[in-house]
Amino acid sequence: MNSNVRAIATAITATLGLSLLAAAPAVAAPTAAAPKAKAVDIRVELNLPHFRTGQPAVFVREDVVPGAGVELTAADLVDNPNGWSGSLDIDIDPTTQRIVISGEDDGADFETAVVTIANTYLAAPKVINDALPEEPALMERAVKATAKALTFTWTSTKDPSDSVNLTGKATFSYKVRTSTRFRSTSVKGNRVASSVVVKSLIGKPAGKVVFTLKRGGKKIATKKVSVNRKGLATVSLPTRGKGSYTLVAAYKGSKKHAAGKATRTLRVR
């Protein structure tokens, strides 16, 4: 094979190779999985308690898994004995960990509005903005968090015969509830060895656990330890003689997960 033929063959091979590469479909980069969500129960009560029978319009959505779209709307009305007009939309976004409560553009006049999200994993709600009432200064807002539910309440501060338009939007952030529990604790010589496990129903908690050893209310030793991939944090702390001690393990929380704490009493003999 002379040099020209060899050059042509090489060019053809290179061209075919480039064509095959160009024809090959692009492989999409993997996308991060959205946080998983657990089902919640949502209840909204809108009322004008100083009018008619004083009973609210009630909207309920049970066992709904937060995700794309709005979780509760006007279509979820279950009881309205006084025929009140108006509703609220409730949107829970597990990716951004936001709760958005929206009113209607044409207005819905009420003296009270109560939104309850019953769950076992939403915690630490924080107000990002609240423009739900048309006149925010005329309604008091209260946010309550328990182990069973988050409750958002708006109450009119105007004359009892007056109501306030709920035409805007309120946005709250939340974190995922965690549990912090001692896995093991032992005393050897003049040291206490202990480990705790931090768990959550959604995701793997990261961050730090602060261990504090106290005796008679006085701090003896403290140490900050990172939580590993299994949710464990382990520490060894010095004691100061015989007696009763209290060991506190405080998980400080993270951007996604709420803080938690566990306490254990131990005796050094």
**Domain CATH for 186:** 2.60.40.1930
Task: Show the domain range for 209.
Answer: 178-268
Whether residue 84 is found in the same domain as residue 145: yes
Q: Does residue 66 lie in a domain region?
A: yes
Q: Which of 2-11, 144-153, 201-210 shows the lowest mean pLDDT across its residues?
A: 2-11
Q: Does residue 6 lie in a domain region?
A: no
Which pLDDT belongs to residue 161? 67
Q: Does residue 186 lie in a domain region?
A: yes
Whether residue 152 is found in the same domain as residue 229: no
**If pLDDT is split at 50, 70 and 90, which confidence band does 107 have?**
low
Instruction: Give the CA distances from residue 173 to residues 55, 103, 115, 123, 252, in Å, rounded to whole numbers and listed in that order.
Output: 30, 18, 15, 9, 18
Please say if the pLDDT value at position 224 is more than 80: yes
CB contact at 8 A, 62 and 72:
no
Q: Does residue 255 lie in a domain region?
A: yes
Please say if the pLDDT value at position 207 is more than 60: yes
Last residue of one domain, picked from the residues 175, 197, 231 = 175
Taking the alpha carbons of 10, 13, 19, 23 in that order, is the dihedral positive or negative? Answer: negative
Question: In the predicted model, what is the mean pLDDT of residues 71-100?
Answer: 96
Q: Does residue 27 lie in a domain region?
A: no
Whether residue 67 is found in the same domain as residue 152: yes
Whether residue 157 is found in the same domain as residue 232: no
| Count of structural domains within the chain | 2
Structure-block tokens of residue 25: 């479909």
Whether residue 49 is found in the same domain as residue 140: yes
Last residue of one domain, picked from the residues 151, 175, 199 = 175
Please say if the pLDDT value at position 20 is more than 80: no
Q: Does residue 99 lie in a domain region?
A: yes
Averaged pLDDT of the chain: 87
For residue 117, the SS3 value is strand
Last residue of one domain, picked from the residues 156, 175, 194 = 175
Which pLDDT belongs to residue 162? 81
What type of residue sits at position 108?
A
Q: Does residue 22 lie in a domain region?
A: no
Whether residue 150 is found in the same domain as residue 256: no
Whether residue 249 is found in the same domain as residue 204: yes
Whether residue 144 is found in the same domain as residue 77: yes
